[in-house]
Amino acid sequence: MDLQIGVIGLGAIGRDHVKRLSQRITGCKVVAVSEVNEAVGKEIAEQYGARFYADGEELINSPSVQAVMVTAWDPAHAQYVMASIKAGKPVFCEKPLATEVSECEEIVRAEQELGRRVVQVGFMRRYDPGYQELKRAIQEGKIGQAMVVHACHRNMSHAATMTSEMSIKNSGAHEIDVLRWLLEDEYVSGQVVLPRQSRISAKEGLQDPQIMMLRTEKGICIDVEISQSSGYGYDIQCEVVGDLGTARLPDPPAVITKTDCSRTTAISPDWQSRFVEAYNIELQDWVDRTRMGQEPGGASAWDGYMVCLTANVLGQCREEGGTAKEIKLPKKPDFYR
């Protein structure tokens, strides 16, 4: 039988995921949707033959919903993840797991009390074929011992709601997660360096770009440029420098055109196209495992908690003028091993 899914939040990624689950992913059906904008919610419900719920918690507790997907705004995540755990239902929550460390603590406590892992956080880069290949290259020892990582996360432009804090907690969260996963290492300290302000980041008060600097337990030094307004495309880069060589994340394949004495290659305009394969693989894996009664295979609630803790320290660091701060990550309980 198909997995009966309820989706909460029908903005950009919520709609993408509903479409993906309905047209691309096998073994599932979107049976329920919820959205604070009722007109949008009802329209999508009708389009996909799902039931509309004005209240997300009512959707979670509906007997017809077997698994929950949370794609609402960041501050609404924790409430719905907690309600799903209380209902004992598997929940796929888009990143970040929560905006506050205390909410993450409550979630990992509740999941352990439930006694089984039901939460997956939507850090889809772990499923991206390029990042997978990069991780294999590091693990095979091709570049020797990793020492330094240079990365950048450039968004083409930003929504009016973007803030300096979100730049780290919302965009930077992907980097914090994927680099910890890639290097199989934990952060011990971090800081944020603020370069000259971009004139294109029109919004008053948005510090852009920002450079996150992290040091890991093994002593690897990481720098990540986070930009909200590259103006030229959505560009994700990552280079790992080892003592025998370097390994670089590949760009997605794109045709090279040569005309009029120039050479051009398209750059993805947004995360939707850049990571389309990763989202597809991620959601199929979540559906397959959930149907088989297995634990989720992607980022866990614990990983979401580690990202939130790290982002929080980096945020404090930026507010306090940029001096490096210690990152004290708690010991991972056996439950999450």
The amino acid sitting at 97 is L
When binding is defined by CB under 6 A, the residue of 66, 84, 99, 171 that contacts ligand ISE is: 171
Q: Which is nearer to ligand ISE, 80 or 271 (CB)?
A: 271
**Cα angle value 17/20/22 (rounded, 5°):** 110
Point out which residues pair with 222 in neighbouring strands. Answer: 149, 214
Site for ligand ISE in 266-295 (CB under 6 A): 271
Point out which residues pair with 297 in neighbouring strands. Answer: none
The rounded radius of gyration (Å) of the Cα atoms in the chain is 20
CB 107 within 8 A of CB 78: yes
- Asked if 305 is part of the footprint of ligand ISE (rule: CB under 6 A), the reply reads no
Q: Which is nearer to ligand ISE, 170 or 290 (CB)?
A: 170
Question: Which one, of 285, 307, 296, 308, lies nearest residue 336 by Cα?
Answer: 296
Q: How far is the CB of 41 from ligand NAI (least distance, A)?
A: 8
Q: Cα-flanking dihedrals φ and ψ of residue 214, to 5°?
A: -135, 150
The one segment of 56-64, 102-110, 166-174, 287-295 that binds ligand ISE by CB under 6 A: 166-174
When binding is defined by CB under 6 A, the residue of 15, 174, 180, 318 that contacts ligand ISE is: 174
Cis status of the peptide bond prior to 252, with omega within 30 of 0: no
* Residue 310's binding partner out of ligand NAI, ligand ISE, none, with CB under 5 to 8 Å set by partner kind: none
* Residue 155's binding partner out of ligand NAI, ligand ISE, none, with CB under 5 to 8 Å set by partner kind: ligand ISE
Q: What number of residues does the chain have?
A: 337
**Residue spans of alpha helices (H) in the chain:** 12-23, 38-48, 56-61, 77-87, 101-114, 129-139, 164-166, 173-183, 271-274, 276-291, 301-319
What span, in angstroms and rounded, lies between the C-alpha atoms of 249 and 128? 10
Q: Which is nearer to ligand NAI, 159 or 202 (CB)?
A: 159
- Asked if 77 is part of the footprint of ligand ISE (rule: CB under 6 A), the reply reads no
Question: Which one, of 205, 195, 246, 245, lies nearest residue 225 by Cα?
Answer: 195
Q: Binding residues for ligand NAI, per CB under 6 A?
A: 8-14, 34-37, 56, 71-74, 76, 94-95, 122, 124, 170, 271
Residue number of the CB closest to ligand NAI reads: 11
* Residue 34's binding partner out of ligand NAI, ligand ISE, none, with CB under 5 to 8 Å set by partner kind: ligand NAI
Q: How far is the CB of 303 from ligand ISE (least distance, A)?
A: 15
- Asked if 164 is part of the footprint of ligand ISE (rule: CB under 6 A), the reply reads no
* Residue 90's binding partner out of ligand NAI, ligand ISE, none, with CB under 5 to 8 Å set by partner kind: none
- Asked if 170 is part of the footprint of ligand ISE (rule: CB under 6 A), the reply reads yes
| Positions that interact with ligand ISE (CB under 6 A) | 155, 170-171, 174, 271
